[in-house]
Amino acid sequence: MPRYTRFIPIYAAMGIVGSLAVLSTGCSSPDNGQSKTTTTQPHSVSAGITNATSPSPGSPVPPPTSVLPKDVEHTARAFTAAYAEHDARDGKDSSYADAGARAAKLASGELVGILSQKRPGQDAPWAALRAEKARQTVKIASVVVPDGAPSVSCSSALVRVGYTLTTTPKSGQASHSSGQLVLRMEHTSDGWRVTALPWA
């Protein structure tokens, strides 16, 4: 595990309500060779699902699908990049909470407030990243429905995003780590939003 990571355990005030089967209901509508490579796995952030749209009476309900609609994939990619990317260079991010605030723009419900919180447990890893004046960037490797998860419906989705995190210090070699986020998503009046990070 790289020495820099923003995924400090976050415990939400609310548990995830209901089983993953609820997600199947809905309405309508994929450096050089000296760099170090490791594997990381983030801790979870969870919150209740709110603001979901519901089908209008009499409207046709297409069957769920494992194929991701483009708007679902777009939101999943954008959220993951906002959540996992950090910039500890001078004049940039002041803490890990800055990334959470960016990701919160693509979230809904309780998760919005959770993401924006600054936690004491993040101080030490942030200080290490800041000492290197390092920047962390994300390259998305995959966006899929996890094995065994409910299929995507027009109103809800469970998506796993795999990515490579590159940490580039002001001087020295860049390091690479692989990570993933599992996103619980709901279609709201503002479009697709992330409502929970149940597990990774």
Please tell me the distance from the alpha carbon of residue 97 to that of residue 105, in angstroms, as a whole number: 13
Question: Which one-letter DSSP state was computed for residue 65?
Answer: B
pTM over 0.85: no
Band of residue 120 on the pLDDT scale cut at 50, 70, 90: confident
Band of residue 105 on the pLDDT scale cut at 50, 70, 90: very high
pLDDT in tens, 138-166: 999 999 999 999 999 999 999 999 999 99
* pLDDT above 90 (res 7): no
- CATH fold for domain 20-55+62-196: Nuclear Transport Factor 2; Chain: A, (3.10.450)
pLDDT in tens, 49-59: 333 344 445 54
Query: Higher model confidence: residue 167 or residue 65?
Result: 167
* Average model confidence (pLDDT) across the chain: 78
Task: Report the chain's C-alpha Rg in angstroms.
Answer: 18
Q: Which of 196, 197, 200, 198 is nearest to 49 (CA)?
A: 196
Band of residue 66 on the pLDDT scale cut at 50, 70, 90: low
Please tell me the distance from the alpha carbon of residue 188 to that of residue 108, in angstroms, as a whole number: 8
